[in-house]
Amino acid sequence: MAGDSLLIWSPKKLSSHAYRLRTGARAAAGRDVSGGIDFSVATSSNGRIHRTRDNARLWAEARGQGRSGAQRSASAGYNPVTGRISASAAVSRSWMPTRSVDIVIEPVVSADTTMRHGYGGTVRVTQKAEVRALRTGTSFIASGTVSSANKTINTELCIEQRLFDGFNLTATVRRQNAELTGALRARLGFSW
């Protein structure tokens, strides 16, 4: 995806066996609005393509900055094969109480429903807070999510350490459905 281009062509590996190609267009300068079609495919570990009805989805996104400096975003998606509609809205506020600490607060509301099958849909509300120590590259992240589907609150505590450009180490403790799980992840990324 070229920074100056109005066309979007963005292949992405979502996991070890899932891929997405995002195509579309963005509005001319001055408006951060875009839309298009996502094509996705998932395979088994031996390379066999999973048969699914979620291979294509129409999408639209809008982003902007409010008067207070908060970053705002909204997105919507529609799968014409399954009838699934999804939407989300988020606001991100950040403060720098000192030169070496950055604080980010981000509430997100999302919803989805399948129109063709009489499914009532699900609404999720997530609140995320992040404290970044800029000099050391360490982030402390706490988040909580409540969903209308299961009427529980899921929480997550995370510590992320940037070891060098493109390489992060993350330790996470998650409480979901009254069970605690932990994970340790390393992520390596390159930009060119």
Q: Report pTM.
A: 0.71
What region does 135 belong to: left with phi over 0, alpha with psi -120 to 50, or beta? alpha
Residues of the chain short of pLDDT 70, as ranges, are 1-3, 116-119, 190-192
Residue 24 CA: distances (Å) to CA of 8, 59, 69, 75, 156: 5, 9, 28, 14, 34
Same domain? For 73 and 145 the reply is: yes
* pLDDT tens profile 93-114: 998 999 999 999 999 999 888 7
Same domain? For 21 and 70 the reply is: no
pLDDT reported for residue 34: 94
Same domain? For 45 and 70 the reply is: no
Q: 118: domain range?
A: 60-188
Tally of domains in the chain: 2
Same domain? For 16 and 70 the reply is: no
